[in-house]
Amino acid sequence: MTAKIINGKVISDFFRSEYKLRVDRLISQGTRPGLAVVIVGDDAASQVYVRNKAKACESIGMYSEVHPLPATTRQAALTAFVEQLNANPNIHGILVQLPLPKGLDDRAVIEAISAKKDVDGFHCANMGALVIDESPYPPCTPYGVMKMLEYEGIPIEGRHAVIIGRSNIVGKPQAMLLLKAGATVTICHSKTQDLPAFCRSADILVAAVGRPNFVKGSWIKPGAVVIDVGINRLPDGKLCGDVDYAEALLAASAITPVPGGVGPMTITMLLGNTLKAAERAAGIAGTTDPGETGLA
């Protein structure tokens, strides 16, 4: 068996063209969705991510502004800055690029963002809503994974989904979203005993570990769907995922590549969440789903 390659770029373009129609409509009604991105310090990789987010906004007609702050920024100054953005009516989504430099408290900054503008979905109120029922802004990476599965028509209900990783930004919210979709969910992490055995029982395997080629082909149940969230830079500068792609291709029924899989979907869901926040601010019931096509 050779797995179907799930093309995150194609799926992303599909969503973005739908979002663009909604952005145009909102602009014609007097609201241009706006995203503010705050980056503290001079981490090169973070600066590339931030630029890509701003470019993506502009590509569908949204407004974006990037605020680079020095690494010496104090917690109180950062909080005050975020509060100014909370009060700015032209800004509907606020994203603080994480991790913050040492000495700054990521969680405190996330909590300073208005829950209504928390388009990353990391605020306690939105995380809590995700656990209890449904967050208006599901965290972008796991939400992008759900949208890929839906787009590909991959059944989730009744399937066993195994997630490797329990971070607040990927593993935990991914588990909540899969659970809500009717999967039986197992979360694995660094203390899990016999990880390969858990993986072999997965109909849907999501790897979010941060270790290159960590998941071996022999860990994959024949016909499983493999979602590789990992982004790892190899010594030669190339990117690779957490899954041994060449091996997994022979075992899985479908797989996301790295790059070109989950990565583009993360940014696209950020656009969707920002658009939704702007629609809500304008009194329109926003959704992250493309409305015109009926794709749920």
36 DSSP β-pair partners: 65, 94
120 is a catalytic site residue: yes
Catalytic residue among 118, 120, 228, 244: 120
Binding range to ligand NDP, per CB under 6 A, among 80-88, 107-115, 258-266, 274-282 = 258-266
Segment holding 57, helix H or strand E? helix 44-59
Q: Residue 109 and residue 120: Cα distance in Å, rounded? A: 13
Whether the link from the prior residue into 99 is cis, omega within 30° of 0, is: yes
With CB under 6 A as the contact rule, which of the stretches 148-156, 186-194, 198-206, 288-296 interacts with ligand NDP? 186-194
Candidate residues 41, 136, 138, 165; the one interacting with ligand NDP per rule CB under 6 A = 165
Report if residue 183 touches ligand NDP, rule: CB under 6 A.
no
Size of the site for ligand NDP (CB under 6 A): 24
- Count Cβ neighbours within 10 Å for each residue of 245-255 and write b for 16 or more, e otherwise: bebbbebbbbb
Under the binding rule (CB under 6 A), the answer on residue 230 touching ligand NDP is: yes
Where b means 16+ CB within 10 Å and e means fewer, 66-75 reads bbebeeebee
Binding residue for ligand NDP, selected from 188, 224, 251, 254, defined by CB under 6 A? 188
Torsion sign across C-alpha atoms 171, 149, 201, 253: negative
Question: Which run of H or of E encompasses 248?
Answer: helix 245-251
Structure token digits, residue 15: 């969503």
- Give the whole-angstrom CA distance, residue 20 versus residue 25: 9
Stretch that binds ligand NDP, among 16-24, 81-89, 154-162, 182-190 (CB under 6 A): 182-190
Residue with smaller CB distance to ligand NDP, 26 or 265: 265
Task: Give yes or no: 24 in active site.
Answer: no
Which residue, 146 or 170, is less far from ligand NDP as judged by CB?
Answer: 170
Interface residue list for ligand NDP (CB under 6 A)? 141, 164-167, 169-171, 188-192, 195, 208-210, 229-232, 262-263, 266
